[in-house]
Amino acid sequence: NAGVMQNPRHLVRRRGQEARLRCSPMKGHSHVYWYRQLPEEGLKFMVYLQKENIIDESGMPKERFSAEFPKEGPSILRIQQVVRGDSAAYFCASSPSILNGALETQYFGPGTRLLVL
């Protein structure tokens, strides 16, 4: 059973370009989460999605960032007009369906390291 897959593993962009980060959850998982890790920091929650729905985007910057999890295909985190401050590691996690409101364990991917020049 493959784990959470993220690609690309490394991404270099120049200021003003767009960055697209992909995440394929574990088989059978319908919940996806995105986190950002700045150097020397812990991970910061960005957004929580189910198929075709955004459940919680309280950690997402209001501008330039968007996320989707379509019915078919991977979840995409999109950053428009990147700036140097967007350089970070972006981690995706997935979990099974939540039953009775119980918190399920999140399983993390290897991350995408974005460098903005």
Specify the residue, 45 or 64, whose C-beta has the smaller distance to other proteins.
45
The least distance separating other proteins from the CB of residue 91, rounded to whole angstroms, comes to: 7
Q: Which of 117, 90, 85 is nearest to 17 (CA)?
A: 117
Query: What is the C-alpha to C-alpha distance for residues 56 and 65, in angstroms, rounded to an integer?
Result: 14
Specify the residue, 17 or 37, whose C-beta has the smaller distance to other proteins.
37
The alpha carbon of residue 56 and the mean position of all alpha carbons in its chain are separated, in whole angstroms, by 13
Specify the residue, 64 or 113, whose C-beta has the smaller distance to other proteins.
113
Binding site for other proteins (CB under 8 A): 3-4, 31, 33, 35, 40-45, 48, 55-56, 58-59, 91, 93, 95, 98, 101-103, 105-111
The least distance separating other proteins from the CB of residue 111, rounded to whole angstroms, comes to: 6
The least distance separating other proteins from the CB of residue 77, rounded to whole angstroms, comes to: 15
The least distance separating other proteins from the CB of residue 115, rounded to whole angstroms, comes to: 14
58 dihedral zone (left: phi>0; alpha: psi -120 to 50; beta):
alpha
Q: Residue 111 burial (CB < 10 Å; 0-12/13-18/19+)? A: buried
